[in-house]
Structure 1
Amino acid sequence: MRLDFAQPWVLALLPLALLPLLRRRRDTLRFSCIAWLPADPVGRALGVLWRSLACAALAGTLLGLAGPGQPGAQLQRTGRGAEVLILLDRSSSMDASVHTNGLQTAGRMSHEPKAQVVRELLGEFVSKRPDDRFAFMTFSTVPIMAVPFTHKSDTVQAALAATAIGRGLPETRMGDALLAAIDEFAPRSYSGSRVILIVSDGGAQLDEATRRRIRAGLAHEKIALYWIYVRSGPNAPNLDTDEAANAYGLGEELALHAFFKTLGTPYRLYQADDSNAIAAAMAEIDRQQNFPLTIYERVPRRDHAGACYLVALACCAGLLAFRALQWQSWEATA
């Protein structure tokens, strides 16, 4: 076990722990003949014990002040999962409820805002995948990185819960959000499957330069793209048709889907009309993204000063008990 010291200069004071071994003048007893003194093995043993406790108390205190501990390290382990960046649409349309209007909807989405249902289902998705590395980004007018990549699912859950505060803006700038999401993977070494999970009820008409940058970024960083399209009702575009073949003059949702289909990297659309469909989509993503993943965990420095202080405290307690026994014996002989 490798140790280091936060204040190594304190170790130079360790010789002070030998002070209790020095004889004091008042400890000297004057007798004309030492041979006349009776043997006292118990007294000798107690004297050695007393000095040992005093030395240990001083040494423990000095070692504690030096701050011993194990240095931090980065550990590597292998799990199963993926690096998932959740890209959540926070536009004002996500705050609206879904109305049936004759559509066969199921579950909660007919009565609750889409954002609330999505938030709860994403929370369940995150909690079921402890080996994943999650990042969380929201977007409407501009992308906002809420949580960089982390293995702490409670941090992601807190960020999801925070999206319930306030209302979103009317714009949905998908192109800027996708480019910002891709940039989050750039400084990371490749360790396994990478996924950008878009959850949105709208699309975007992207210019050629933006499409080119998105296509190149996804390919360079080896990122799969999943889009959970939260369909707002029967009047919303249906992406499960052949209309979105390759025509960028169509509506924003159809145009975005058509562009995604031309990517050279994996892409999958999940069109969801209700909460059950969203749950089913996340369950399928959960089953698909279960590949070996190299995980690097940074272990913080472990401080052992408390153990040294505990030893010093126990020795001081022993000295107090020893002194109390001495007073009792003196009172008994008085």
Structure 2
Amino acid sequence: MNIGAIDFAQPWALLALPLAALPLLRRRRDTLLFPTLDWLPRDRAGRIAGFAWRALAVFALAAIVIALAGPGSPETTVTRTGRGAEILILMDRSRSMDAKMKPADWRTIDPHSMLYQVESRGEPKSAVARDLLSKFVEQRPDDRFALMFFSAGPMNVVPFTQHDAVVQAGIKAGGLGRGLSDTDVGRALTAAIDSFDARAYTGSRIILLVTDGGTHLDEPTRKRVREGLQANRIALHWLYLRTLNAPELDAEASAPPPQADGDDPAAIEIRNAYYAQESIAEVSLHRFFQSLPVTYRLYQADSPEDLAKAVAEVGRQQNFPLDFDERVPRQDHSRLFLSLAALCCALLLVYRSLLLRSWL
């Protein structure tokens, strides 16, 4: 039941509201008969006291009845403006993310003992990523975050929200159990893009892909990703957690395919090397992302320190005006009316105690 800007959870309780008029009814014992009262002075204090205690009793009963009806402000939507972005964190939850990253001093380690050093001193990639993403969310209170995990398929964990505690809980939940062996980046990307379809464009949008591997996308999937990112104006950022012996997505992997000049053996060899790289899943995915008609940035991380720098760089780049609608839940005002009833009852007790003292 709505009355103006107030609604009632239990409107049937308002049927008892006429009971608040009971203190206004005069009782038989309150009436004394005298032949005349003309010789008595007017008792203004007594009249005021009599009116006051009846008013307090009426307010106390009315407040109790209204509190039982559950008054409150209905749910509403408020438009707010901040600085930041709408960021969907698309995090790989496959078994490969449980592998360890290289230690911070990996460049000084003997390559022959690298595997031993990684296994003995490295930190799990998924744990490092969760810790840094948790700090990233904490440092950006004006952003709206959504969280999605993926392995063989996408798992929508948290829809877009500005309530950081919910996002933090979702990130923490990603550390439970072990990941699956399969990874389908294509299905995850299309699901992440679809989550923007029903949302009005209010500012900068980002899909933050956090994974340690790539994939070969088929042409229908490439078309869906390309058209979806462009239609929804979404930027793509890839936090590439490079595994030991995984390809390095450097300038060579990013270069366009060379053109063979006739039968020049050198040019043909370079071109063949280029297409040989294309068979590597990470390189293939990176080159596809580079061909997208939207902003794409790659952040390659070999160690936790590299990943921390990459996350910080994402934060520095996304600080634009952002309009968003925040859903304000229903506000219950029952406690306010119960407090008013308690105050009225306390004043009635004070009045009664003073009255008894005057009689003694």
Change in 2 beyond 3 A, CA 1:134/1:31: same
Say yes or no: does 1:112 pair with 2:141.
Answer: no
Change in 2 beyond 3 A, CA 1:105/1:24: farther
- Alignment partner, residue 143 of structure 2: 132
- Once the two structures are superposed, residues 230-266 of structure 1 have per-residue CA deviations (whole angstroms, 9 ceiling, x without a partner) of 1112x21011032354648421001111111111111
Say yes or no: does 1:81 pair with 2:95.
Answer: no
Change in 2 beyond 3 A, CA 1:243/1:44: closer
Instruction: Name whichever of 317-326 and 208-217 sits farther off.
Output: 317-326
AA aligned opposite 1:4: I
8 A contact 1:191–1:293 mirrored in 2: yes
AA aligned opposite 2:283: L
Residue 267 (structure 1) shift: 0.8
Say yes or no: does 1:52 pair with 2:55.
Answer: yes
Change in 2 beyond 3 A, CA 1:274/1:35: same
Q: Percent identity?
A: 52
TM-score (norm 2): 0.84
Equivalent of residue 346 in structure 2, options 317, 320, 329: 317
8 A contact 2:212–2:241 mirrored in 1: yes
8 A contact 2:23–2:58 mirrored in 1: yes
Residue 27 (structure 1) shift: 1.3
- Once the two structures are superposed, residues 16-65 of structure 1 have per-residue CA deviations (whole angstroms, 9 ceiling, x without a partner) of 43332232221111223333445433333322222222222222223333
Instruction: Name whichever of 287-296 and 69-78 sits farther off.
Output: 69-78
AA aligned opposite 1:30: L
Equivalent of residue 238 in structure 1, options 248, 251, 254: 248
- Which runs of 5 or more structure 1 residues have no equivalent in the other structure? none
Say yes or no: does 1:280 pair with 2:318.
Answer: no
8 A contact 2:209–2:238 mirrored in 1: yes
- Alignment partner, residue 165 of structure 2: 154
Q: Distance in 2 between the 1:302 and 1:292 partners?
A: 29
Equivalent of residue 175 in structure 1, options 179, 186, 191: 186
- Which runs of 5 or more structure 2 residues have no equivalent in the other structure? 110-116, 258-274
Change in 2 beyond 3 A, CA 1:99/1:311: closer
- Alignment partner, residue 221 of structure 1: 232
Q: Distance in 2 between the 1:19 and 1:103 partners?
A: 84
8 A contact 1:224–1:267 mirrored in 2: yes
CA RMSD of aligned residues (A): 2.5
Residue 228 (structure 1) shift: 1.0
- Alignment partner, residue 265 of structure 1: 294
Say yes or no: does 1:65 pair with 2:76.
Answer: no
- Once the two structures are superposed, residues 263-315 of structure 1 have per-residue CA deviations (whole angstroms, 9 ceiling, x without a partner) of 11111111111111111111111111111111211112222232222122211
Change in 2 beyond 3 A, CA 1:243/1:62: closer
Q: Distance in 2 between the 1:85 and 1:272 partners?
A: 20
